[in-house]
Chains A and B, each alone.
Chain A
Amino acid sequence: MGNFDVMLVFDHWDRYMAGFINTIQISIIALIGSFILGAIIAIFRIAPLKPLNWFGTAYVEVIRNIPLLIVVFFFYLGLPSLGIELDGFVSGTLGLTVYTASFIAEAIRAGIQAIPTGQTEAARATGLSYLQTMTHIILPQAIKIVLPAIGNQFINLVKNSSILAVVAGMDLMYYADLINSDTFLPLTVYTFVALFYLVLTVPLSYAVLYMEKCFNIADN
């Protein structure tokens, strides 16, 4: 095929790698950030304090029902209009973090609420404090439900990080565009981009499947 040039990936290896590594970096930073933020929102949603519940619910409902691109644009276009300048990399990663946190918050809440309340009551009755009940009884069980869900969110993060290309965020898709403008071989350029993404997402998918299987066996 005249349109396909396998050697292209070696000629432009440096730029592929720069984008690939940035994509991994963005995904990991956003995963850590959205886990912390998501945990806080989840606590807000189950805490025995109405205003916190409302805030947590509003956060999750609003963010989950709008596109990731809007969240990213708030950081990339919205903040500069208020005098706060952020580059594409930072605003894209922040957008991913804020967006993914709403999904992780829901996963954590679902995990905690899946544990029957009778267990909390029993633990409290035997003299454990609220915090001890959480750390020794509830969380170790909830983690089985939460962990695979977070794994799935990580896969989504890797895929969603491609949105940084829209805001010149130096990710894999952004570098692919640069390579494509130099070579005019989109079929080759983007086939390799697809392979780079699959190298990340396929093993992660299998890891999540494996996790789900392990936890299911442990339950039976």
Chain B
Amino acid sequence: MDFIGAYSIPNLIFILKGFLITLEVAFISILLSFVLGTLLGTLRYTRIPVVARLTAIGVDIIRNLPLLLIIFFMKIVLPQIGISMSPFWSTVVGLTLFEGAMISEIVRSGLNSIDKGQIEASRSSGLSYIQTFRHIILPQGLRRMSPPMVSQFISLLKDTSLAIIISLPEIMHNVQILGGQSFNYVIPALILASALYFIVNYTLSIIARRLESKIH
């Protein structure tokens, strides 16, 4: 093991550049999967006959597949039917689909946890269905959803590493390249990558815990 050689300035910059791409992919995917997940979760909650059923089937299929396969699908299979994306966008789209499906389940159970009596009460006090949803159900649901949502974002950040399979130059890809330069760099590079992931994710998990204690 050669920590001094592994942590030379150019090597550190190389790893950090990879981590920047990791964070970029994660950030965009978090925003998009939040939008998609809220949309899908709400669709299932509303119980609109055919739409809710189809959403449920789609979500269950995506949730039960390996994310690695979904990311691979975006880069390797879609070009065959005329859709070509860069590794960056293949990862973002794959992550958004998968994590969006996961988040839709969080949204759905969050909305379902609101007591039905509240809906009846607000409806009978003259609010429309949309108004009831916007002012009564959604604000309470969102508060209950936030801790599992943050946990899901932690998973998302970790899952960006799967993009190594389509050679996105994120942190793990760069760690592998560095390890290929010298055997002695492997463990130092892995420790550095672990530390970077840990710092970001541990901060997020503290936020999740704070949110949780605020709710109870």
Contacts and interface: CB of A to CB of B under 8 A. Distances in A.
Describe B's contact surface by its main secondary structure: helix
B183 interface: yes
A126 interface: no
Interface residues of A, number: 38
B172 A190 contact: no
Contact of A81 (B63, B68, B69, B184): B184
A65 B172 contact: no
Contact of A190 (B61, B73, B183): B73
B202 to A, nearest CB: 5
Interface string B59-77: 0110111111100110011
A138 B175 CA distance: 45
Interface stretch (B8-16, B86-94, B189-197): B189-197
Interface centre among B64, B175, B186, B194 (most CB of A within 10 A): B64
Contact of A186 (B65, B77, B179, B186): B77
Given A67-B158, A81-B1, A81-B184, A194 B198 contact: no
Contacts of A173: 66, 68-69, 72
Interface residues of B, number: 40
Most buried by B among A64, A69, A78, A187: A69
Contacts of B66: 158-162, 173, 197
B161 A190 contact: no
Interface of A: 3, 61-62, 64-70, 73-74, 77-78, 80-82, 155, 158-163, 165-166, 173, 180, 186-187, 190, 193-194, 197-198, 201-202, 205
Given A67-B197, A180-B76, 15 more contacts: A61-B202, A65-B154, A66-B197, A67-B160, A69-B161, A70-B172, A70-B193, A70-B197, A74-B187, A77-B179, A155-B64, A159-B64, A165-B68, A187-B80, A190-B76
